[in-house]
Structure 1
Amino acid sequence: MAFTYDVDRRWLTTAIDLSRLSPPSPSHYAVGAVIVDRHGTALATGYTGESHPAHHAEEAALAKLAGHRDLDLAGATMYSSLEPCTTRRSRPTSCTHLILTAGIGRVVLALREPSLFADCEGVRILADGGVAVVEHPGLGDLVRDVNAHLLAPAV
C-alpha cells in the first residue's frame, strides 16, 4: 500500500480522535497513536493514560504488540498526534527510544511537542535513527484543541 497524503491524514485524524479519550491532566499531554502495517491494516492503538496514568500513547500501542515477535515493523507507520517524547519524568524509556527499538520505519505526526514539560527532539532523533518522519502541521490545531487545558490556541 502506498502511504499518500490522504491516507496519512486519515490515520493521523484517527490518532487525534483517540487522544480525546485521554483524561485531561495538568501533568501530561493527551496523545493518541495508531500503528499501521505496510498493507494499511491497523495493528494497535493507544492513548495517554489508557492502561496506566503514566503510560504514553506510543508506549500503550507498542505494548499491545509485545507478544508478536514475528512482526516486521520496518514497513509499519506510527501515527502520533504529538511528537514522540525524548525524555520522561515518569518512566526510564522515551517513546522515541521505544519506536527505534521496535524497528518502526516511519512516523507521522501533527504537532511537535511544545516545550512545556521538556525539550523534545523526537523528530531529529528518529530521523537520525533512520526513521522517515512526516509532519502534517495542518492538523496541529486539532491537537492544540484536545490539549487546551495546557496550551493556548494558535494565533
Structure 2
Amino acid sequence: MNDHDPTACGLPGPGDQPTVADRAWLAIACRLAAQCPPSATALSAGAVVVADDGTELARAHSRERDPDDHAEEGAFAKIDTADPRLVGATVYSSLAPCAKRDSRPRACARLISESGARRLVTAWREPDVPGPEAHGAQFLEGAGVTVLELPEYADAAKAPNAHLLQP
C-alpha cells in the first residue's frame, strides 16, 4: 500500500466500525499534519476527503496555501461543491475540526456538515489547549455526522503540535 491508494485495503466502513482503509486514510492525514508550516499559535492538522466508493477527492494540511487555512478547509477548497461524490463521503482528519472560527465565516465542522459528508474519522477529538476551536466533533454528531475517533493515532496527531501542548 502507498500513500495514494489505501483503498486496496477496503472501502470505509458504515457507521462506527473502523476498517483497515479507515486506518490507512487516517495515517495519511496524520502524516499530512507533520507537513504543516510551524506556528506558535495554531494547531497543525491534516485532512483527506474520500468518496464512499474509496476515491480520494482531496487532501490538505493546515496553512498549506494560506497562513489561516485549516486542513479540512484546504481540502474542501480543492473540491467542486457540486461534486455528487461529496454526499456520503468520509473526512479523515488528524484533529477533530473546529466548531468556531474568528478568521473565516464558516468553521470546518460546518463545512463538513454542509458538504454532505456522513462520516468523520479522527485521531484526536479535543486538543489539550483552550480555545474556541474545540467541540467540532460534538457539532458534527448533532448534525447527524458519524464521528469515529481512533485514539491509537493520537500520538501521531499530537506530535506536530508538541510545542503548543507544553504544560
Query: For residues 36-68 of structure 1, what are the alpha-carbon distances to aligned partners after superposition, in whole Å with 9 as ceiling and x for unaligned?
Result: 111111110011001100010000000101x35
Q: For 1:112 and 1:21, locate their aligned partners in 2 and report how far apart those are by CA, in whole Å.
A: 20
SS in 2 for 1:80: strand
CA change 1:63–1:119 in 2 (3 A) is closer
Match in the other structure for 2:6: none
CA change 1:119–1:75 in 2 (3 A) is closer
Query: For residues 75-108 of structure 1, what are the alpha-carbon distances to aligned partners after superposition, in whole Å with 9 as ceiling and x for unaligned?
Result: 2100000010011222121000111111111100
1:51 corresponds, among 65, 74, 89, to 65
Q: For 1:70 and 1:42, locate their aligned partners in 2 and report how far apart those are by CA, in whole Å.
A: 12
Gaps of 5+ in 2: 1-10
Match in the other structure for 1:86: 99
Q: For 2:96 and 2:37, locate their aligned partners in 1 and report how far apart those are by CA, in whole Å.
A: 19
Runs of 4+ in 1 over 2 A off after TM superposition: 1-5, 115-119
Match in the other structure for 2:111: 98
Which sits farther off after the overlay, 27-36 or 138-147? 138-147
Asked if 2 retains the 8 angstrom alpha-carbon contact of 1:24 and 1:149, the reply is: no
- Alignment TM-score, normalising by the size of structure 2: 0.85
Q: Is 1:25 aligned to residue 3 of structure 2?
A: no
Gaps of 5+ in 1: none
Asked if 2 retains the 8 angstrom alpha-carbon contact of 1:84 and 1:96, the reply is: yes
Query: For residues 87-139 of structure 1, what are the alpha-carbon distances to aligned partners after superposition, in whole Å with 9 as ceiling and x for unaligned?
Result: 12221210001111111111000002324332611111101111011000111
Match in the other structure for 1:9: 23
- Alignment TM-score, normalising by the size of structure 1: 0.91
Q: For 1:6 and 1:18, locate their aligned partners in 2 and report how far apart those are by CA, in whole Å.
A: 19
